[in-house]
Structure 1
Amino acid sequence: MKQALKVLGLVLFMTMVSIGLIGCASDDESKQDEKPAQEQEQNQEEQGSGQDSNEAAFPVTITDDSGEEVVIEEEPERIVSVIPSATEIIFGLGLGDKVVGVTDNDNYPEEVKEIESVGGLELNVEKIISLEPDLVVADVNNGESISQLREQGIKVLVLGAQTLEETYKDILTAGKATGTTDHAEEVVASMKEDVESVKKVVQDIPEDERKTVWIEIGEELFTAGNGTFLNELVQTAGGVNIMSDQEGWPQVSEEEVIQSNPDVIFLTYASYVENAVQKVKNRDSWKDVTAIEEGQVYPLNSDITERPGPRITQGLTKIAEYLYPEKFNQE
């Protein structure tokens, strides 16, 4: 998710972190023959349009993650997403052709680079309104902009997942809001399969043999504690976060890390800090840390380990492969 180094950059980063198949099979022919001709024609039209066969009839009423009751009168045809995780959800539901606005921070899928931008951390509300969206998908931390848009009569669906379970819920909510319930259920089912596959591989690892992990989200030694996606992913992947006894995104001392002697080190900033992995390996005071001695320092792609969207379980799998390569047939 997002990529600024110094303390101010880390504060912005953590703000961003806190912010971002196929239809059902038809009945068999014998049942179809028993249906009135008019109903069969309606079913054929729905299948031909590519819509979900169990699409909820509009209007739909949804209580979003801001606690607001959102009534969507008709299936949205023009969607603006103001957080990368929401953009990935909307595209994951097969609605990319309906997206008319995204943010400067969006980078996946590739098509988003050709879509109109509505700002970055600071949204251009006037620009969003000018795009005449039927639906804006936002995050709980877009607070003021959400209020401004709603005051202008724009429908805003607010998401805000902080866990895997909440991510599933947000995807299903987005599916209901856009008439893609079937597709949303399939996406969630696939994600749950990813999670179960990882759990099955690591479940028999004894507690005293599980790898201990230091998660570094900045060279000033900010880390991910309890209540973060990274902590949940590391634990689900069979690892032990050495800072799981702390909440949120604490900054810790070098001595604390060295004393904890992690087996593995993950860096979330390596994509925008040159030679980040090598710099950590070259820390003289860390030379006796197990992860350094054994070369177990890895870059993590924050887009797939911190964005609460369909790819978050890919991030889980990657973490598990780094922790236990021998169990995941990795060299």
Structure 2
Amino acid sequence: MRSAALVAALAAAQAQAAITVKDDGGNTVTLQKPAQRVISLAPHVTEMLFAAGGGSHVVGVVSYSDFPEEAKKIPQIGSNREVDLERIMALKPDLIVVWRHGSSERQIDMVRKLGVPLFHSEPQKLEDIPESVARLGQLMGTEKTANPAADALRQQLVSLRSRYANRPPVRVFYQVWDKPLYTLNGKHIVSDALRLCGAENIFAKLPVTAPVVSVEGVLQENPEAIFATAEKNYGGVSMWKPYGTLLAVRNDNLFTIDGNLVNRSGPRMVQGAAALCEKIELARQHRSK
């Protein structure tokens, strides 16, 4: 009887020790103990893992995982488009954090067959970012770092929302790339950042997340401000300068912003949102000229 009771007690203790969280896809992720060897399949995920205090647990990353600086030293196991399954297995991960995007389904299905627990990371709104940091901290047992980091991000968002919530709206075109010319619709997290700043995405209602648009379409919408990210070999907002009828051109509201801060849905996106808000406020000030 005693041995049976002991076995039952041990089983109960192990069940209590299990870590269970929901990922961004609504899936339940359960680990029997904190993850010690984690692989990140997206640059924003790498940033989240470090912010959650788990940098020393990250054993593999994909290309462009270049922040923080220590992330550059971690072995790469492929890219967003293709990973090396043999290298992943050789690293013996106990957690893989994946990101779903247009061409990722087949890759994720292959990774899932490895039998390693997966956490799907895809924040839809800015408020999801601190929640993700906290949940990843739970999975790695690094709550002492993750929870304060998540709280700090939440407070920054509260502060931004309080500052810009009642400001006059500004109609904005957010340019992701110029050849082809494409943007983001209202469901993308970048549009959530724009809304936080009191801005309206002129192409928010388009059904495709990253739709291709035309120059004529932008001219017809006549945005008050245009944003583009700073990238090498990239025309950016300068392509709009010849269109003097554009309100954004007339009011000198052609803005460039750091793509690493706004195009990655990691902790630094809160900083990127603050930068967006500052530029949008500048556009409001230009109205009085």
TM-score, structure 2 as length reference: 0.83
SS in 1 for 2:98: strand
Q: Which runs of 5+ in 1 are unaligned?
A: 1-55
Instruction: Report what 1:45 is aligned to.
Output: none
Q: CA deviation at 1:154?
A: 2.0
Aligned position for 1:155: 117
Q: How many residues align?
A: 266
Determine if the alignment matches structure 1 residue 239 to structure 2 residue 224.
no
Aligned partner of 1:137 in structure 2 is: 97
| Alpha-carbon RMSD | 2.4
Closer, same or farther in 2 for the Cα pair 1:115/1:259, shift >3 Å?
same
| Native 8 Å contact 2:226 2:237 kept in 1 | no
The one-letter code matched in structure 2 to 1:221 is L
In the alignment, which residue of structure 2 is the partner of 1:40?
A: none
How far off its partner does 1:151 sit? 2.9
Larger deviation, residues 84-93 vs 212-221: 212-221
In 2, Cα distance between equivalents of 1:240 and 1:67: 29
* TM alignment of 1:75-86, pairs within 5 A: 75-86=34-45
- The answer to whether residue 88 in structure 2 is matched with residue 128 in structure 1 is yes
| Secondary structure at 1:111 match in 2 | helix
Aligned amino acid, residue 187 of structure 1: A
Q: Are 1:104 and 1:117, in contact at CA under 8 Å, matched by a contact in 2?
A: yes
CA contact (8 A) 2:61 2:76 kept: yes
Correspondent of 2:254 among 279, 282, 297: 297
For the structure 1 residues 148 and 244, does the alpha-carbon distance in structure 2 shift closer, same or farther, using more than 3 Å as the test?
A: closer
- 1:180: which partner in 2? 142
Aligned to 1:168: 130
| CA contact 1:93–1:184 (8 Å) conserved in 2 | yes
Alpha-carbon distance between aligned partners in 2 of 1:69 and 1:211, rounded to the nearest angstrom? 40
Which amino acid counterpart does residue 197 of structure 1 have in structure 2? Answer: S
CA contact (8 A) 1:167 1:309 kept: yes
Shift of 1:327: 9.1
Inter-CA distance 105–291: structure 2 relative to 1 (3 Å threshold): same
Answer yes or no: is 1:89 the counterpart of 2:48. yes
Q: Quote the residue 2:5 is aligned against.
A: none
Aligned residue runs from structure 1 range 1-331, under 5 A: 58-120=17-79, 121-141=81-101, 142-206=104-168, 210-219=169-178, 220-247=180-207, 248-268=209-229, 270-281=230-241, 284=242, 286-325=243-282
**1:146-188 deviations in Å (ceiling 9; x for gaps):** 4434433322222222222333332222121111234333222
User: Using a 3 Å threshold, how does the CA distance of structure 1 residues 180 and 145 change in structure 2: closer, same or farther?
Assistant: same
Indicate conservation of the 8 Å contact 1:76/1:178, yes or no.
yes
CA distance in 2, matches of 1:203, 1:254: 31
Contact 2:253 2:283 in 1 (8 A): no
Check whether the contact 2:48–2:267 (CA below 8 A) recurs between aligned residues. yes
> Equivalents in 2 of 1:108, 1:60: separation in Å?
27
Q: Is 122-131 or 219-228 further displaced after alignment?
A: 219-228
Instruction: Give the number of the structure with larger relative contact order, counting CA–CA contacts within 8 Å between residues 6 or more apart.
Output: 1
SS at match of 2:181: coil
Q: Identity rate of aligned residues, in percent?
A: 27
CA gap of 1:156–1:204, structure 2 versus 1, over 3 A, is: closer
CA distance 1:267–1:327, shift in 2 (3 Å): closer
What displacement does 1:77 show? 1.8
Spell out, residue by residue over 1:51-76, the C-alpha distance to the aligned partner (whole angstroms, 9 max, x if none): xxxxx973212343345433212222
Cα distance in 2 between the residues matched to 1:313 and 1:205: 19
Give 1:280 shift: 2.9
Write out per-residue CA displacement over residues 229-253 of structure 1, whole angstroms, 9 at most, x where no aligned residue. 1211111111122222223222223
Q: Can you give the 5+ residue segments of structure 2 that lack an aligned partner in the other structure? A: 1-14
**SS class of match (2:182):** coil
C-alpha distance 57-83 of structure 1, shift in aligned 2 (>3 A): farther
Residue 98 of structure 1, CA deviation: 1.7
User: Does the C-alpha gap of structure 1 residues 68 and 200 become closer, same or farther in structure 2, counting only changes over 3 Å?
Assistant: closer
> Structure 1 CA distance, aligned partners of 2:244 and 2:72?
42
Give the AA of the match of 2:57. K
Give yes or no for contact 2:40–2:61 (8 Å, CA) kept in 1.
Answer: yes
